[in-house]
Amino acid sequence: MQEGAPDPGLYDFTPYRGRRPFAWPNGGKVAVWVSPNLEYYEIDPPANPHRKAWTRPHPDVVGYAHRDHANRVGHWRMAEVMSKHGFPGSVSLSVALCQHHPEVVADANARGWEFFSHGIYNTRYSYGMDEAQERAIIEDSIRTVREATGQTIRGWLAPALTHTPRTLDLIAEYGLDYTCDLYHDDQPFPVRTRSGHLISMPYSLEVNDHYGFFIYNMSPREYARTLIAQFERLAAEPSGTVMCIPLHSYLIGQPHRIGAFEEVLRHIAADPRAWVTRSGDIADAWRAAHPEALA
């Protein structure tokens, strides 16, 4: 990015009107990817000068235990429902989960899910890091995921969405393909970096389960209706859009929510306009359909 400039200079303006429609590999109009956040939050993390990890003195029992539910209960419930309806995950991973709870990571890997990095812990923020420190967490992410799963990460969702002005340049330099941190479009687009080949992968805050339940205070069934409305609208528009469903299993995997969510998966899986896939597959298909974009 252009550090200090009013426009960070990340991408060109491209209006939605007039774009060339294209079909996803199965002929679908909207690529649907589900993105479980598999995270580890530390009970007593060191302080970052720019952001507090917990709102309460450590241990924040409610906050910690809620996230812990994901790794003990929620993941398994959410993952079973996804597998049942044919949805792979594209995981935003706190890579230290590979050390703490390898059971969760191995389960996701065995289901054919893709992993990208969401930092080391969701309680360690990038704010204030120098370049060497930021390189260290990128290198740690690549190495840790490779050792735990055999996969080479292709994407990045900044830990707790904390960035530095260098983040996108650095992940591109390390050969990553896509960033999930930019929210300017319903389709992938090239992102300008020092080394040039990064694309923005449409993620979503608006239909993120955290936003649904804690920003918009939706009931489980209201959230399910919201996801279906999001899908129906994107599927009705010119072909080539992307819908991401970002999840936290300590939220969507609660017993009062998972049933309503299963109905969403059933709905989308039955619609031939959907291409149900993973984020890396979307990046590949988009590049194949837009050979000129990153030339």
Tokens of 266: 């059933």
Nearer to another protein, 184 or 266 (CB): 266
The correct pick among 21, 102, 112, 196 for binding another protein (CB under 8 A) is 102
Q: Which is nearer to another protein, 87 or 213 (CB)?
A: 213
Binding string, residues 132-151; x marks residues near another protein by CB under 8 A: xx--xx--------------
Number of CB atoms found within 10 A of residue 27's CB: 10
CB 156 within 8 A of CB 167: yes
Q: In the bound complex, what is the minimum distance in angstroms from residue 17's beta carbon to another protein?
A: 38
Q: Does 129 bind another protein (CB under 8 A)?
A: yes
Classify residue 253 by burial, with Cβ atoms within 10 Å: 0-12, 13-18, 19+: buried
Task: Tell me the per-residue interface mask from 46 to 75 with another protein, x by CB under 8 A, - otherwise.
Answer: x-xx------xxxx-xx-xxx-xx-xxx-x
DSSP H or E stretch at residue 246:
strand 241-248
Query: Among residues 88 and 119, whose Cβ is nearest to another protein?
Result: 119
Phi, psi angle pair for 22, to nearest 5°? -145, 155
Residue 37 three-state SS: strand
Burial of 226 (0-12, 13-18, 19+ CB in 10 A): middle
Which residues of the chain form contacts with another protein (CB under 8 A)? 40, 42-44, 46, 48-49, 56-59, 61-62, 64-66, 68-69, 71-73, 75-77, 96, 99-104, 120-121, 124, 128-130, 132-133, 136-137, 213, 217, 219-221, 254-260
